[in-house]
Amino acid sequence: MIDLSRKKRILITGASGGIGGAISTLYRDRGWEVFAQYHHNEPSVLNITSIKKDLSLPEAGKELVESVKPHLVINCAADQSVFEIDSNEIHEKSMEMLAINLIAPLAIMRAAARNRTELCINISSIEALKARRGHALYGASKAALESLTRSAAVELAPMRVLGLRLGLISRPGIEDAWPEGVSAWNEAAPLKRMASPEEVARVISAIASDDFQWATGTTIEFDGGINANPGW
């Protein structure tokens, strides 16, 4: 059994992805107890605790938090399915997406506040602000998450709640899988590149540090300057 009094504890949802893996690695190397939630693919990072949990289930978020009692929560899990508004599956797909992208973070934050978590960071996307065909409901779910971040900061204090709005993040094979998207991004972004997952992890570490303790209810942009441009 893990001794929950030994170290600071971080809970990362969606930890099997590149960003979740980078956050897990950084905090593990800094001596934290890392708890990594996943649904399908178990995280490959060594010396962390992986927890399989389907966040679409009503009690999953509460159960996850109560089992870990984290000091810091990173809501990184997301359904990024692509489908157009006039799709015949729009109702079913939107319910599935909102369950992961909005309802699960809400349940986790409520449970975290009750368990005296110090800080929750919600991972948002530039698509909360920038429309792209096929990404309408994903963008809408992230815009809703940013609104929830503000409200939760008010209602769940003294727990702090922050958002991090990300631009396009590199991953192995993305240039081959989505060449048109990568090309459009690199052309439009003032810094002309994607960010790495490790850069995202370092930004999270910075805003979760003691230097940032007076901040709550705000969403921070980390997008290579894309929001300064009219579109991509």
| Residue 61 pLDDT | 97
Partner residues linked to 169 by β-bridges: 195
Q: What is the mean pLDDT of residues 196-202?
A: 98
Rounded distance, CA 5 to CA 24, Å?
Answer: 19
- 62-104 pLDDT, tens per residue? 999 999 999 999 999 999 998 899 988 888 999 999 999 999 9
Provide the strand spans (E) within 126-168. 160-166
In DSSP terms, 107 is beta-bridged to none
Q: What is the pLDDT at residue 229?
A: 78
Q: pLDDT value at position 228?
A: 86
pLDDT of residue 5: 52
How far apart, in whole angstroms, are the C-alpha atoms of residue 144 and residue 228? 21
Average pLDDT for 205-221: 96
Q: Give dist(CA 3, CA 40) in Å, integer.
A: 27
Per-residue pLDDT, 90: 87
Cβ(108)–Cβ(13) below 8 Å: yes
Choose which CATH entry (2.60.40.420, 3.20.20.105, 3.40.50.720, 2.60.120.10) describes domain 9-222.
3.40.50.720
pLDDT in tens, 6-45: 689 999 999 999 999 999 999 999 999 999 999 999 999 9
Quote the pLDDT of residue 3.
46
Question: In angstroms, rounded to a whole number, what is the distance separating the alpha carbons of residues 133 and 206?
Answer: 33
Instruction: Return d(Cα 62, Cα 119) in angstroms, integer.
Output: 16
The answer, yes or no, to whether residue 107 has pLDDT greater than 70, is: yes
Long-range CB pairs of 145-152 (<8 Å, 24+ gap) are 145/75, 145/101, 145/102, 145/105, 146/122, 146/219, 148/102, 148/105, 148/106, 148/109, 148/122, 149/122, 149/124, 149/217, 149/218, 149/219, 150/217, 150/218, 152/106, 152/109, 152/113, 152/120, 152/217
In this predicted structure, what is the pLDDT of residue 66? 98
Q: Mean pLDDT over residues 196-215, rounded? A: 97
Report the candidate in 150, 163, 180, 175 with the shortest Cα–Cα distance to residue 223.
163
Q: How far is CA 56 from CA 2, 11, 49, 78, 181, in A?
A: 26, 17, 21, 11, 29
Model confidence over 137-188: pLDDT tens digits? 999 999 999 999 999 999 999 999 999 999 999 999 999 999 999 999 999 9
